[in-house]
Amino acid sequence: MTNAVTTIKVTGSQPAENYDVLVGHGLLGHVATYLGERVRRVLVIHPRALRTTGEAVREDLAAQGFESFTAEIPDAEEGKHLQVAGFCWQVLGQNDFTRSDAIVTVGGGAVTDLGGFVAATWLRGVKVIHIPTSLLGMVDAAVGGKTGINTAEGKNLVGAFHPPAAVIADLDALQTLPANELVTGMAESVKCGFIADPRILELIEEDVKDATNAESDRLREIVERSIQVKAEVVSADLKESGRREFLNYGHTLGHAIELAERYQWRHGAAVSIGMVFAAELSRTMGRIDDQLAERHKNILELMGLPTSYRNDRWSALLDGMRRDKKSRGDLLRFVVLDGLAKPAIQEVPDTAILFATYQEIAS
């Protein structure tokens, strides 16, 4: 197990868009460094399941001279609601948080999404540092500055772009992660492999058991490569006006599945099916060959991720996809592939094509 600290830079057109992503072991002591000298008050937002960790972070900050507070929110997607954001705003207001104070999030992707949104909206923007504790949070949600909450109509339809001051990916957190959480989080790394860095796919295919071992150097390399993919895309396109849309590979159907399942499914499981659908759509459109399409299904099933969904839910899924952020009016748009690591956008005006494609993956 490698003990060195890796620093991955995210850059942008403005100084506020530049930040470090630290990857390594035993990194929680770095939080105060990135808070800076002006911050006096810090709110630590954490889910109920991480109460002990959240309190430990608060106590560490208090020992270093910060006025520190905690806001405990519901676990997973249940925490990404307007009422929860309102509770956090209330805590900030009651404790006189100013624009020079900060928020620290501790948890998975749902916590970084919610906490980032609270930071983006309190006084029109305060500093936030993310400490992702899940694989999904480390390789995806915490990096990039996208924040959001869910509504009854869909996932992440309300949000803001708000880059963090730093992301601290302490790999020690993965050692206490349930095996299913680790595997479903890997779906986002697989996505990065197909759209940008095929070495990620090879690392998984060569030894899937080692790739999903929380203490392995192989998993660390997968994490670092995944973060590097996202950092490079985000640095070139913070507000999703171009290349950043490619990071949504598999997410159009994936988000629709999450909505149909009332967010009781893990994000990675839904995106896994979404990627198989996107690959099949790419094949249907003549963009990729059979081998690349089948590789999606093979690697995802190798990891134990789902690759098909119920045949009787098409109507609900189509309604969900129409609410996708990539849609333009009534026109559905999908991230597809023109080859390995060659993502593109495909407009699909005829939903009959989508239905026929779905039949190829439906169970």
Look at residue 1 and tell me if it is in a domain: no
Please tell me the predicted confidence (pLDDT) of residue 339.
98
Percentage helix, strand, coil for the chain under 3-state DSSP, each rounded to 5: 55, 20, 25
**53-56 contacts, C-beta under 8 A, 24 or more apart:** 53/106, 53/133, 53/173, 54/106, 54/107, 56/28
104, amino acid identity: V
Q: What is the mean pLDDT of residues 148-161?
A: 90
Alpha-carbon distance 108 to 140, whole Å?
10
Q: Are residues 143 and 107 in the same domain?
A: yes
Average pLDDT, the chain: 94
CATH number at residue 123: 3.40.50.1970
Catalytic residue (one of 30, 130, 162, 244): 244
Catalytic residue (one of 255, 266, 296, 333): 255
Judged by average pLDDT, the poorest of 109-113, 175-179, 210-214, 356-360 is: 175-179
Does the pLDDT at position 125 exceed 90?
Answer: yes
Q: Are residues 154 and 207 in the same domain?
A: no
Catalytic residue (one of 127, 130, 191, 251): 251
Q: Are residues 234 and 276 in the same domain?
A: yes
Q: Which residues are annotated as a binding site for Zn(2+)?
A: 188, 251, 267
Please tell me the predicted confidence (pLDDT) of residue 65.
95
Q: Reply yes or no on whether 295 is catalytic.
A: no
Q: Of 149, 177, 205, which residue is a domain's last?
A: 177
Does the pLDDT at position 263 exceed 70?
Answer: yes
Q: Are residues 201 and 82 in the same domain?
A: no
Please tell me the predicted confidence (pLDDT) of residue 167.
98
270, amino acid identity: A
Please tell me the predicted confidence (pLDDT) of residue 328.
63
Q: What is the mean pLDDT of residues 133-156?
A: 92
pLDDT in tens, 53-109: 999 999 999 999 999 999 999 998 899 999 999 999 999 999 999 999 999 999 999
Q: Are residues 146 and 253 in the same domain?
A: no
- For 50-65, letters b (16+ CB in 10 Å) and e give beebbbebbebbeeee
Alpha-carbon distance 192 to 136, whole Å?
12
Q: Are residues 188 and 317 in the same domain?
A: yes
Look at residue 310 and tell me if it is in a domain: yes
Look at residue 129 and tell me if it is in a domain: yes
Does the pLDDT at position 1 exceed 80?
Answer: no
pLDDT in tens, 8-48: 999 988 888 999 999 999 998 899 999 999 999 999 999 99
- For 185-212, letters b (16+ CB in 10 Å) and e give bbbbbbbbbbbbbeebbebbeeebeebb
The boundaries of the domain holding residue 120 are 6-177
- The SS3 call for residue 99 is coil
Q: Are residues 185 and 315 in the same domain?
A: yes
Q: Are residues 125 and 221 in the same domain?
A: no
Q: Are residues 197 and 147 in the same domain?
A: no
CATH number at residue 342: 1.20.1090.10
Count of H-run helices and E-run strands, the chain: 14, 11
Query: Could you tell me which of 73, 7, 56 has the C-alpha nearest to residue 34?
Result: 7
Does the pLDDT at position 329 exceed 70?
Answer: no
Q: Which residues are annotated as a binding site?
A: 75-80, 109-113, 133-134, 146, 155, 188, 251, 267
Pick 322 or 190 by higher pLDDT.
190
Catalytic residue (one of 37, 124, 262, 328): 124
How many domains does one find in the chain? Answer: 2
Contacts of residue 28, defined as CB under 8 A and 6 or more positions apart, other chains included, come to 56, 57, 60, 131, 168, 170
Helix (H) or strand (E) holding 53: helix 51-63
Look at residue 306 and tell me if it is in a domain: yes
- Read off the pLDDT band of 340 (50, 70, 90): very high
Q: Are residues 65 and 201 in the same domain?
A: no
Catalytic residue (one of 188, 224, 245, 280): 188
Please tell me the predicted confidence (pLDDT) of residue 326.
66
Q: Which residues are annotated as a binding site for NAD(+)?
A: 75-80, 109-113, 133-134, 146, 155
Q: Reply yes or no on whether 240 is catalytic.
A: yes
Please tell me the predicted confidence (pLDDT) of residue 238.
84
Catalytic residue (one of 248, 266, 287, 297): 248
Q: Reply yes or no on whether 25 is catalytic.
A: no
Q: Reply yes or no on whether 81 is catalytic.
A: no
Q: Reply yes or no on whether 301 is catalytic.
A: no
Alpha-carbon distance 153 to 36, whole Å?
39
Model confidence, pTM? 0.93
Q: Reply yes or no on whether 325 is catalytic.
A: no
Q: Are residues 167 and 109 in the same domain?
A: yes
